[in-house]
Amino acid sequence: MARKLAAGNWKMNGTTAELSEVAALTAAISDATCEVLLCPPATLISRMADMAQGTGLKIGGQTCHSEASGAHTGDISAAMLYDAGASHVILGHSERRADHGETSEQVAGQSAAAQAGGLIAIVCVGETEAERDANVTLNVVGTQLAESIPDDCDLSKLVVAYEPVWAIGTGRTPTIEQIAEVHDHMRSALTERFGQGADDIPLLYGGSVKPSNAADIFAVSNVDGALVGGASLKAEDFGGIVSALSQA
């Protein structure tokens, strides 16, 4: 797995009409030196995976169930995502934690299921604004990290994304110093728990990343890429972020 990754999260956006953005993106990233991933709604995974064949683009899911199959109406398994052409899956996004009450323990189960199903798990953590104001960011992120990653995790199939909840979709970003503090803390915590193998886990920053701030964020120590929401919907914007990461 390459260490540098630009991952786009389309959330609940996109139908057939928006597939034109994927065609434009594959052209825009032809010179990219980082890994590029788009995570569309499950309904588009298969078609996007077909379009991505032979290009540098990878396709992922936005969540998966911790069980391999069964009576879970509306859910999707890791094997289904893999079968549709996904290589990665986002887990524990703050919108899943808030909208669906997903706990870190459940995210750990999903991570194990994702890896068992052949996927790379992108585990998301991040503090709320109230937690940052209360000066407990490192505790919150450290606890989420500890509880969302299973002990027997395959580190070669793990990506971690730090996404301050208050920075998602708001246009606000932490300072460079705040991003560096959390990413250094995550790297140390992962190394303490898993040993030197944790040095190669890609650590992404997410929260209002755009072409205009990407280069500054990618220059931060222990930032290996980005998880991008809004700016991943347009090939031009996401292409700009990919190009900033390629040059970082």
Active-site residue list: 93, 163
Q: How many CA atoms does the CB half-sphere of 14 hold within 13 Å?
A: 25
Give the nearest distance from C-beta 238 to ligand PEP in angstroms.
Answer: 10
- Closest CB to ligand PEP among 72 and 100? 100
Report which of 187, 182, 173, 184 is spatially closest to residue 216, judged by C-alpha positions.
Answer: 173
Give the nearest distance from C-beta 192 to ligand PEP in angstroms.
Answer: 26
What residues form DSSP beta bridges with 125?
162
Give the nearest distance from C-beta 189 to ligand PEP in angstroms.
Answer: 21
Give the nearest distance from C-beta 232 to ligand PEP in angstroms.
Answer: 7
Transcribe 46-107 into DSSP letters.
Answer: HHHHHHHTTSSEEEEES---SSSSSS-TT---HHHHHHHT-SEEEES-HHHHHHH---HHHH
Site residues for ligand PEP per CB under 6 A: 9, 163, 168-169, 206-209, 227-231
Eight-class DSSP state of 124: E
- Closest CB to ligand PEP among 225 and 229? 229
Residue 19 in contact with residue 51, Cβ under 8 Å? yes
The answer to whether the Cα torsion of 222, 225, 227, 230 is positive or negative is positive
- Closest CB to ligand PEP among 150 and 229? 229
- Closest CB to ligand PEP among 160 and 231? 231
H/E element holding 5?
A: strand 5-9
Residue 81 in contact with residue 126, Cβ under 8 Å? no
